[in-house]
Amino acid sequence: MIDRALRLVPDEYASLTPRLITVTAAQALSQAAAYCLLVPVLEALFDGDTGMAWFWTAIMAVVVAVMGVLTFLQATLGLRIAVGMQLGLQTRLGDKLNALPLGWFETQNAAQLSRIVVDNVREIQGAVAYLTAKLITSVLVPLGVAVGMLFVDWRIAVAMLIAAPVLFAVNRLGNRAFLRADERTHVAAAEAETRVVEFAQAQPILRAFGAVGSGNRALDCALEAQKKAATRNVVSAVTGVIVFGLVVQAVFLALTYVVVGQVTGGTVSAAAAIALIAVSARFIEPLNQAAQIGNALRSASASVDGASDLLAEPVLPEHDSPVALGAPEVVFESVSFGYDAESPVVSDVSFTVAPGTTTAIVGPSGAGKTTLLRLVARYADVDSGSIRVGGHDVRTQPTETLLNQLSLVFQNVYLFDRSIAENIRVGRPDASDADIRWAGAIARVDEIADRLPDGYDSPVGEGGTTLSGGERQRVSIARALLKDAPIVLLDEATSALDPHSEAVVIRGIHELTKDKTVIVVAHRLATIAHADQILFLDGGRIVEHGTHDELLALGSRYAGFWNERARSRGWRLDSAPA
């Protein structure tokens, strides 16, 4: 795990890692040397040789001073890496998220992404900067003590060298069960976080259908699963610590037995025996700490995996070479695409949207209409065929160049937890306040701002929760107006709006699409009828293509669709007969 964690250290701090390891190793060996020097100091004191006692004490003081300096350097390097890693790794993860295809986010768990970027980075930071140093110390101090004991009594040294791997083996066996339990805990925690966020955001729906309290089975099950996973984790950890602690005590007793045996055999003096028992205790202590460090490292392992997996996600090939854009035209040539190889969403789709014209895409739910819009914006790359925007394949354009040609107004409007003005300014970050108010006036956002205490500076809440659906659409149209891109991709979202909101949004859409190249997934009959061309999509294929009048005269799929929509406009609830 350590090697994978070290690979996550930002490049500008990577050179500090070998220095941290070197300093930590030197500090651990100096610590071991200080423990070993206790033997000649006590022997000299018991023999009454004051001169030699002071000599060995002076050497020990120098070693301890060196150890103090190295400890300071180790802490300083660890802190620099920790601070740099938090910012550097989060920036790297942010850059990765920015480079991933837009379609990737539609299948991801927002709570899990937040956990990776915030909580997991913190755990990785601690693992690299602090736990790595402690792990090195827990290995090198016992090893250094064992080697130092070779100069005192080889039998004690051999006993220590045998005891160390035995303890590590026992610790490793206990780790496996804990690691499996810890992985289940991470999965359960992510699910619980998702359900808690869902529970908070969906209160109106949950209360309307009585799915609160004991009625919210999804949240209850997630919390219960998290509780069980945490319980198993604690049991595994405690069991491992208890077993390892017992083995540690057994090893210490065995070393004490060996030392006492050497005293009774006359091989080691009583003074040396006292020192050796003290040194044995110091030999055992880092090994005991290794178990606790191992638990922390295993916990960090899941965090390393999460960050590494995110960084390993494939991104769409990016072209940095500038392109000379032509007219705002969109061309589909034999386009096929599926989110997986077995289930194509669109198949062999070809059509052209001439500059300044409107193309309406209609058809039943699941036909692939919204997917066509998203492919224009390169949410994903097509499996076969090509899409040209402004005369160039979208795959050969820099992402910024492609998106600068497009204004996107989709059904699901997301607003940031900022002010109305800041949400509109997303359309053009360098826009002035006057520009924002111009776009807001056209989209009738000014009506919203006028009723709020801080006007355009009023916060809209997370996801725009303080605004209605129609009001969020107005803000979305205002930022698209502000961007003023030559091509508009519009997934109309007026069917769920009240008549006033629908009328306001439609006026904004008319202003947005004036003199623009427009591709619209159409729901309103007026939008369909006035389109320059209509594509009827079914099963991922264009089954009919033409103007409104041409398709009505054909009397086939589109005509039936039109008639059904026309009849639904007059639908009403009649009172039940008495």
Give a three-class secondary structure readout of 254-271: HHHHHHHHHHHCCCCCHH
pLDDT higher at 399 or 168: 399
Contact 1, 304 (CB under 8 A): yes
pLDDT higher at 166 or 249: 166
Round to whole Å and give the CA distance between 19 and 9: 14
Nearest to 174 by CA among 253, 226, 245: 245
CA atoms within a 13 Å half-sphere pointing along the CA-CB vector of 88: 17
Q: What are phi and psi of 531, to 5 degrees?
A: -70, 150
**Averaged pLDDT, 204-230:** 59
Residue 96 structure tokens: 């990765």
For 413-418, the CB contacts below 8 A with 24+ separation are 413/464, 413/469, 413/472, 413/473, 413/475, 413/476, 413/493, 414/463, 414/464, 415/460, 415/463, 415/464, 415/467, 415/472, 415/475, 415/476, 416/460, 417/459, 417/460, 417/461, 417/462, 417/463, 418/459, 418/460
pLDDT in tens, 409-422: 887 788 888 999 99
User: Of the spans 113-117, 186-190, 246-250, which averages the highest pLDDT?
Assistant: 113-117
| Start-to-end CA span in the chain (Å) | 75
- Among 83-87, 150-154, 272-276, 345-349, the minimum mean pLDDT is found in 272-276
Percentage of the residues of the chain whose pLDDT score is greater than 70 = 70
DSSP-derived secondary structure for 94-121: HHHHHHS-GGGGGGS-HHHHHIIIIIIH
**pLDDT over 80 at 374, yes or no:** yes
User: Of the spans 210-224, 316-330, 563-577, which averages the highest pLDDT?
Assistant: 316-330
What average pLDDT does the structure give for the chain? 78
pLDDT in tens, 463-478: 788 888 888 888 988 8
Domains and CATH numbers, the chain: 2-191+225-312 (1.20.1560.10), 330-568 (3.40.50.300)
Round to whole Å and give the CA distance between 359 and 349: 14
pLDDT higher at 223 or 143: 143
**Averaged pLDDT, 386-409:** 91
DSSP-derived secondary structure for 111-159: HHHHIIIIIIHHHHHHIIIIIHHHHHHHHHHHHHHHHHHTTT-HHHHHH
Confidence (pLDDT) at 180:
56
Confidence (pLDDT) at 546:
92
**Averaged pLDDT, 29-45:** 83
**pLDDT over 60 at 576, yes or no:** no
Confidence (pLDDT) at 437:
92
The residues pairing with 538 across neighbouring beta strands, listed in sequence order, are 541
Nearest to 480 by CA among 560, 549, 425: 425
- Among 27-31, 167-171, 339-343, 426-430, the minimum mean pLDDT is found in 167-171
pLDDT range class, residue 495, cuts 50, 70, 90: low
Round to whole Å and give the CA distance between 323 and 403: 13
Q: What are phi and psi of 390, to 5 degrees?
A: 65, 25
Confidence (pLDDT) at 578:
47
pLDDT range class, residue 98, cuts 50, 70, 90: confident
Residue 27 makes CB contacts below 8 A (sequence gap 6+) with 67, 70, 71, 73, 74, 137
Confidence (pLDDT) at 215:
47
Q: What is the pTM of this model?
A: 0.65
Which helix or strand (DSSP H or E) is residue 384 part of?
A: strand 384-389
Round to whole Å and give the CA distance between 544 and 19: 68
**pLDDT over 90 at 364, yes or no:** no
Question: What does each C-alpha distance from 65 to 60, 72, 149, 268, 456 come to in angstroms?
Answer: 9, 11, 22, 29, 63
Estimate the share of the chain in helix, then strand, then coil, as percent rounded to the nearest 5. Answer: 65, 10, 20
Per the listing, tokens 């090994």 go with 287
